[in-house]
Structure 1
Amino acid sequence: MSATSVALRLSDVHVSLGGHEVLHGIDLSFTAGRWTSVVGPNGAGKSTLLKTMAGLLPVTGRIFLFDQALVAMDRKQRAQQLSWLGQNESASDDLRVWDVVMLGRIPHQDWLAAPSVKDHAVVETALQATGAWDWRERSLGQLSGGERQRVLLARAMAVQAQVMLMDEPLANLDPPHQVDWLEQVRCLTSQNTTVVSVLHEVGMALHADDLVVMQAGRVVHQGPCADAVTHRAVEAVFDKRIAIHALDGQWVAVPKL
């Protein structure tokens, strides 16, 4: 696969919820092997956009996953190529952490087949990578919010999908584990995985390769995080209540009073 291939493409996508249109003619392309963060004020349509790309909402328009229409893919094929970590993901509190993460391997297993040696190896790797290995025999209900989030991230990673969509993946994570998450994303993109995340933390979002800036259900800008035009677009949708500056070689978002 070429490093410049398009992993996801949306063409004139509209989404209505409860009779109200919330996404208006979205046109976007996501390059394979890059990390894109979606930012914008509350109500901009960020989470709806991510759910739309995951195939979780009815749409008008076209969505392509590696040049194949998303609606034409069967559920197993789609689940193998695209993994999803949503806000407030549900999972039974009685399940062992190990079993929760093993759920990520279901798209690769035959019906009623026992997990393979590879499945076990992938689950162990995901648990080690997210720092959740020591809890593998505990139930999900015994974990804190941050610990639970790391387990659900491990489940998403265990799919080994070519595209990962994550809605507010930093929820409940303390700063050190937010840094761990950043490192995991960089590891994924180095393996040509495409990552798209919705982040409220603009400063964290600026670590991505690219930003999609949204407002009122529309994309107002898409571009590299290091681009000054991207910075001005982000500042504008937040009513110039933040300013983006370089600090110690990194871009930071500073509140403006």
Structure 2
Amino acid sequence: MSTSSFALRLMDVHVSLAGHEVLHGIDLSLTAGRWSSIVGPNGAGKSTLLKAMAGLLPVTGSIFLFDQTLMAMDRKQRAQQLSWLGQNESASDDLRVWDVVMLGRMPHQDWLAAPSAKDHAVVETALQATGAWDWRERSLGQLSGGECQRVLLARAMAVQAQVMLMDEPLANLDPPHQVDWLEQVRCLTSQNTTVVSVLHEVGMALHADDLVVMQAGRVVHQGPCADAVTHRAVEAVFGKRIAIHALDGQWVAVPKF
């Protein structure tokens, strides 16, 4: 496979926080147009890895975004190609929902320029897709945690980036809206958007195309979600306290007592 087939490539990436190395020589290639989900026990380094991919942390080693060195790209170019939804993100409670989602269009706007007709159309599409359209005139402070999460997802979608990075995007979402999120991810990948997520819900992560399995700051396995070897790797990093089985045409993770 040529390097141009990869949306993100990491080569010997190390990350240290407060003088302590938390990622140890990560080598990873993520295929463009697919959904990869990062899983592993608490403290495995999942969120740190995602932040490194976003260019939010200093690293040693190399990270490439579509064959360009990530940290050598100017900020606007990087912001147009990489969309970020962080864990426990927030915005000012006084902001209108519409304005929060319009922030996703900033990488495409000139300094102090008014939003274009395209910006308005993209924001409307994102709000409709996440079921947040009816709240567009409400302030963020008037919404529940799950509703806020859907607005922040709409903001990330409004960037129309080639790569979307999402850390715990299902936080505060009830089961029906988790299904809505899955459908949105499938829609994005059908349009050749690359999605990378960190999910604690292993059962939801198993809906991805590929899993990246982490333990103690290292990637211990990468492979298709339907692969039995991938299932065994996931079970192993959780101390064989879960088991993965097929049920009604999908993979599920169940606890083992």
The TM-score, its normalising length taken from structure 1, stands at 0.99
Aligned CA RMSD, in angstroms, stands at 1.4
CA contact (8 A) 1:3 1:32 kept: no
> 1:90 offset after TM fit, Å?
2.4
Paired position in structure 2 for 1:18: 18
> 1:244 offset after TM fit, Å?
0.3
CA contact (8 A) 1:127 1:154 kept: yes
CA contact (8 A) 2:63 2:69 kept: yes
Identity of aligned residues (%): 93
> 1:88 offset after TM fit, Å?
1.0
CA contact (8 A) 2:6 2:32 kept: yes
1:25 and 1:96 map into 2 onto residues whose CA distance is 43
CA contact (8 A) 1:185 1:195 kept: yes
1:142 and 1:2 map into 2 onto residues whose CA distance is 48
> 1:134 offset after TM fit, Å?
0.3
Provide closer, same or farther for how the CA distance between residues 74 and 3 of structure 1 changes in structure 2, counting only shifts above 3 A.
closer
- Secondary structure, aligned partner of 1:14: strand
Paired position in structure 1 for 2:256: 256
Deviation per CA, 1:193-215: give whole Å up to 9, x if none.
00000000000000000000000
> 1:125 offset after TM fit, Å?
0.1
2:127 and 2:28 map into 1 onto residues whose CA distance is 33
1:4 and 1:206 map into 2 onto residues whose CA distance is 26
Deviation per CA, 1:95-119: give whole Å up to 9, x if none.
0000000000000000100000000
1:161 and 1:4 map into 2 onto residues whose CA distance is 17
CA contact (8 A) 1:4 1:31 kept: no
CA contact (8 A) 2:244 2:251 kept: yes
- Secondary structure, aligned partner of 2:188: helix
> 1:148 offset after TM fit, Å?
0.1
1:227 and 1:194 map into 2 onto residues whose CA distance is 20
The alignment of Structure 1 onto Structure 2 pairs a total of residues equal to 257
> 1:4 offset after TM fit, Å?
7.4
1:144 and 1:6 map into 2 onto residues whose CA distance is 37
> 1:5 offset after TM fit, Å?
1.0
- Secondary structure, aligned partner of 2:164: strand
CA contact (8 A) 2:4 2:66 kept: no
2:88 and 2:252 map into 1 onto residues whose CA distance is 27
The TM-score, its normalising length taken from structure 2, stands at 0.99
Larger deviation, residues 86-95 vs 223-232: 86-95
2:234 and 2:72 map into 1 onto residues whose CA distance is 35
CA contact (8 A) 2:4 2:67 kept: no
Provide closer, same or farther for how the CA distance between residues 176 and 58 of structure 1 changes in structure 2, counting only shifts above 3 A.
same
CA contact (8 A) 2:83 2:163 kept: yes
1:20 and 1:185 map into 2 onto residues whose CA distance is 34
Paired position in structure 1 for 2:149: 149
1:71 and 1:170 map into 2 onto residues whose CA distance is 29
2:5 and 2:101 map into 1 onto residues whose CA distance is 30
CA contact (8 A) 2:3 2:67 kept: no
> 1:190 offset after TM fit, Å?
0.1
